[in-house]
Amino acid sequence: QAAAWWDRKADRREGRDLVQVLGTLHEAVDPSRLEEAWQRVVARHPGLRTVIRSEDVPEPVQEVRGGVEVGLKFEDWSDRPEASREALLEQWLQSDRLRGFDLDRPPLLRVTLFRFSECEFRLVLTYHRMLLDAISVATVIHEVLDDRVGDRTPGDASAVLFCRSPPPDRTPDVAAEQAYWRSHLRGVFGTPTSLGIDQTPETIPGTPRAWGEHAITLSADVGRCLGNLAAKNGASLETLFRGAWALLLHRYNGEPDVVFGVRSPTGGGSPKEPSREPVGNRTNTLPLRIRIDESGSVEQWIRKMGIDEASVRPFEGTSLPRIRRWSEVEAGTPLFQSLLVLEGPSLNARLRSLGDSWLTREFRVLARSGCPVTIHCHPESEPALRIVYEKGRIDDSASARMLGHFARLLRGIAEAPESPVGALPLLSDAELEQLESWNDTRAEVPQVRVTDLIEAQVARTPDRIAIAYGGSAWTFRELDRRSNRIARYLQRQGLCPGARVGLLMEPSLEMVAGLLGILKGGAAYVPLDPELPEQRLEFMMRDARLALLVTQQRLRTILRPRWPTPVFLDSVWQSIEAEDDQSLPWPGTADPDAYVIYTSGSTGQPKGVCVPHSALVNLLRAMRERPGLGEADVLLGIATISFDIAGLELFLPLITGARLDLLDRRIATDARALAESIAEIQPTVMQATPSLWRMLLESGWEGDPNLKIICGGEALSRDLANRLLARCGSVWNGYGPTETTIYSTMHRVENGTGPVPIGRPIANTRIYVLDSKLRALPQGVAGELVIGGAGVARGYLGRPDLTAEKFIPNPLAGGEGRLYRTGDLARHVAEGSLEYLGRTDDQVKIRGFRVELGEIEFALSRHPSVRQSVVLARHDGRIARRLVAYVVVDRSRKL
Ligand code: AMP
Ligand code: MG
């Protein structure tokens, strides 16, 4: 039977499927007698003379050769310093692994003897996995060493002391095997089931792969419970191990259907019973596919798996290369990334059961499956679990956590078999506590409005410059008095508390006064960027049911008669001047909306996010501390008001006494002009999207060591971060959707390598990384970033359906408040930070602007000549990311 699953050269290079047995012998050993013993054993067992022939045959076949000699290599290390021997031996073992074997040259086996002293030797047996299974290797070692002792005649049945269960009495039916495996793996293609925590290895060609290992033991109680549970439900203990591993993979990668490798031992290995089986390897490695259904109870699921496993049994003998070939997985791609091995008794335990001199000998098996992760399960009374992982691909601590989660799932199964599979806990109590304390961001939340914070600042620094624009400037007192007058004037025009007022203005001192006037009147402002298309502006005005539209004369030409009655702040200035300039009593409810900002909607229409004062106040108070702003600061405001980050630029200086310098949109979008303004104004703080920072650098801007940079709105790449760090005072990465009020995390970026984290939650904010069923995920595993706390907006204006879908009650145990589902993918990384990984949907960012591709596709589909369309955000070479639409035109119509 062909079992050549070692079919790739690379596998050989990496020592895959090569096993080393290391024996420690505290006795005198004669090398030449040992060599003779080996030769006799090899002559006796055809299995040890097996090679794989792949030339001149349609598919690789096993061939038994005659006249094979196994030489013994002897190394006398007795004169080497004692302290260095073990390390030398480790090195030697590694180079021995790299040597591999030529598969067609017998024997696929070699023996090396090291002399450490008169009575201390090391014996290394290196062989290809195909040659020997656990029982056979014990048999062979037993025969060799006892032959050397010479007091027993080897070769007779009584000397073979390990029993194995007889192999299934059948001839393989290839057609049936093929049909079975094809259907088992139907639809499995592309990349193998992801482990959820693997990284691209940074392998340097020629360097061997390094491996790490962790172990955990389950209690005897858990072991007993699992055994009983398996027996009660017609399954084996192995089924439970497999089920728990499948579940772990599913929780880690979110896929409902997982594939991993399985390997089981043959025979029990009770000594003193003669085996009639020849020496060889009858274990087989197989792919196992499990579809996860988390709705039923654990017990129902075990029964189902038990039945499925019984159906594989007749096809357990099929070789892995064949199964691979029958699958839809491309050649060269592994079928699986993880392997679950059910271990029998260890080699050491088997040999020690022989008693006598075997009690002083130690044997250790060194084997690497070649999979990035192998889980070994030792079903003893206290089941031991081991993870062997490839360093560089799997992080040391991530693999330890992974093993912990596997154990946690098994304990969960033992504790509550009647509970639904979906309720099985993955995280340890310690991990849950850690998440809890990470999220403990409680800070004082004063029950005030933004306008209260501003008025308090006016009282502190009435004569300092508050805002400057185009050569003019207003002090805090001037700004405050003007906005008080505007508020009173607007109230006379019909503004009432709780109303929404459009703010269609270009950056200017009046724009800020108008905005404050709206807020002081108890209303919410709806920012309307004059550069937006007419239909878009009109949609927002209609959707927001504006009470008023605050604008300015020079925008008169873009106004439409059907729009709300405009108030031209600049033409009614005289009437405004006539109003009382003292502060107004708060006219509204305790916590009304401060603004409603529209963002792209996937179903074709933008949606208005309603942000209450309390959320804005919380954000501003947090930002005052980190990144920090004070009276000595000058902030350069460049964001368009329709982008929520403008809220930080406009309000943060006003509550901290810093000066706000506003720039024209024309300057703010032209890198050279912007660089000139920066040089002239010398701001100490500036916020912009990564795209804009990049544009600035590319225009030749040299930075400023006194400048604190806040990056927000889209992912900050490492290379940009480092370039900015080299040129500026400090760089902060802020993350947050409009729905949770500008920023929900803030991270001070350090020079370094690897992705730039987005940091941790700001004050009074809780962040969770959840799977699709809203269960918390462990560190390192990607899930949806979900945000709770003071920043969570009220919802979408007039869209209860959408609000209910995105703003959900906190589903976590003991969790309170509402959570906003961002649709962002993230994971917890070391040092208590979060890393942003992308989106779960079709939302993209173009120069910081949030765009739902679906909204554009919807707009295209309304054109009579467009039959179908797809929109992508493409990044082509050096061209900045842009939107590209592909359309299928209906030829019967004119475009
Ligand atoms: P917006 O509502 O315009 O603030 O857009 C919010 C979205 O922008 C988030 O859900 C993220 O997808 C993305 N985003 C915002 N800030 C960052 C950041 N610092 N890093 C990566 N993505 C970000
Ligand atoms: Mg944002």
The whole-number average pLDDT for the span 727-740 is: 98
Distance 645 CA to ligand 2 centre (A): 6
So what's the pLDDT on residue 135? Answer: 86
Flag whether pLDDT at 149 surpasses 60: no
Please give the Cα distance from 672 to 227 (Å, whole number).
Answer: 73
Check residue 206 and give its pLDDT: 62
Instruction: Tell me the pLDDT band of 283, cut-offs 50, 70 and 90.
Output: confident
Measured between alpha carbons, how far is 443 from 877 in angstroms, rounded to an integer? Answer: 46
- Give this prediction's pTM: 0.91
**Region 237-242 average pLDDT:** 95
What distance in angstroms lies between residue 712's CA and the mean position of ligand 1's atoms?
Answer: 7
pLDDT at 633: 98
Among the bound ligands, name the one nearest to the CA of residue 735: 1
Task: Give the per-residue pLDDT at 9.
Answer: 47
Round the average pLDDT of the chain to a whole number and report it.
91
The percent of the chain in helix, strand and coil, each rounded to the nearest 5, is 35, 25, 40
CA–CA dist 226, 228 (Å, integer)? 5
Nearest CA to ligand 1 atom 14: 714
Atom number of ligand 1 nearest to Cα 609: 2
What is the rounded end-to-end Cα distance, in angstroms, of the chain? 65
Crossing angle, helix 450-460 and helix 509-520, to 10 degrees? 120
Of ligand 1's atoms, which has the minimum distance to the CA of residue 839?
A: 12
Strand, helix or coil for residue 339: strand
Pocket test for ligand 1, best of 746, 845, 849 (most atoms within 8 A of CB): 845
pLDDT per position as a tens digit, 699-727? 999 999 999 999 999 999 999 999 999 99
Q: Which ligand is nearest the CA of 824, by number?
A: 1
pLDDT at 2 over 70: no
pLDDT above 90: residue 173? no
Cα–Cα distance between 243 and 241 in angstroms, integer?
5
The encoded tokens of residue 74 equal: 């002897």
Residue 503 has pLDDT above 90, yes or no: yes
Residue nearest to atom 20 of ligand 1 (CA): 715
Given pLDDT bands bounded at 50, 70 and 90, which one contains residue 3?
very low
Provide CB contacts within 8 A for 855, sequence distance 6+. Answer: 600, 601, 602, 603, 604, 605, 606
The tens digit of pLDDT for each residue in 118-128 reads 999 999 999 99
| pLDDT score of 155 | 42
269 pLDDT above the threshold of 50: no
Predicted local confidence at residue 177, as pLDDT: 93
Residue 278 DSSP code: P
CB hemisphere CA count around 454 (13 angstroms):
30
Residue 270 is predicted with a pLDDT of 41
Ligand nearest to the CA of 691: 1
Q: What are phi and psi of 845, to 5 degrees?
A: -120, 125
**Separation of 610 CA from ligand 1 center, angstroms?**
18
Q: How does pLDDT run across 439-472, given as a tens digit for each residue?
A: 999 999 899 999 999 999 999 999 999 999 999 9
For residues 353 and 361, the answer to whether their CB atoms sit within 8 Å is no
pLDDT of residue 693: 97
Q: 725, 732 in Cβ contact below 8 A?
A: no
Ligand in nearest proximity to the CA of 643: 1
- Among 99-113, 618-632, 789-803, the minimum mean pLDDT is found in 99-113
pLDDT band at 10 (very low <50, low <70, confident <90, very high): very low
Percent of the chain with pLDDT over 70: 93
Q: Determine which residue's CA is closest to atom 9 belonging to ligand 1.
A: 737
Which H, E and C letters describe 779-800, residue by residue? CCCCEEEEEEECCCCCEECCCH
**Dist. CA 736 → ligand 1 center (Å):** 5
Q: Which residues contact 804 (CB under 8 A, 6 or more apart)?
A: none
690, pLDDT greater than 60: yes
Is the link from the previous residue into 107 a cis peptide, with omega within 30 of 0? yes
Task: Output the CA torsion sign for 251, 252, 257, 263.
Answer: negative
Q: Which of 62-66, 599-603, 610-614, 841-845 has the lowest mean pLDDT?
A: 62-66
What is the C-alpha separation between 633 and 654, in angstroms, rounded? 11
H/E run at residue 202: none
pLDDT attached to residue 734:
98
| Whether pLDDT at 150 is above 50 | no
129-133, 244-248, 413-417: least confidently modelled range: 129-133
pLDDT of residue 272: 42
* 8-state DSSP, 843: E
Return the higher-pLDDT residue of 45 and 835. Answer: 835
Residue with CA at minimum distance from ligand 1 atom 4: 737
Atom of ligand 1 nearest to the CA of 848: 3
Q: 714 C-alpha to center of ligand 2: Å? A: 8
pLDDT digits (tens, 9 = 90+) for 618-676: 999 999 999 999 999 999 999 999 999 999 999 999 999 999 999 999 999 999 999 99
Q: How far is the CA of 739 from the centre of ligand 2 (A)?
A: 8
State mean pLDDT over 527-533: 96
- d(CA 433, CA 439) in angstroms, rounded, equals 10
**Ligand 2 centroid vs 354 CA: distance in angstroms?**
70
Q: Mean pLDDT over residues 838-867, rounded? A: 92
Q: Which pLDDT value is given to residue 493?
A: 96
Q: Whose CA is closest to atom 19 on ligand 1?
A: 735
Spell out which residues line ligand 1, taking CB within 6 angstroms: 599, 644, 712-716, 733-735, 737-738, 758, 822, 824, 836, 839, 845, 850
CA atoms within 13 A on the CB side of 104: 8
Report pLDDT for 54. 78
Distance 737 CA to ligand 1 centre (A): 5
Residue 6 scores a pLDDT above 50: no
Rounded to the nearest whole angstrom, what is the distance from the C-alpha of residue 547 to the centroid of ligand 2? 27
Strand pairing report for 685-688 and 634-637 = parallel
- Whole-number pLDDT of residue 170: 57
At 728, the pLDDT band (50, 70, 90 cuts) reads very high
From the CA of 732, the nearest ligand is 1
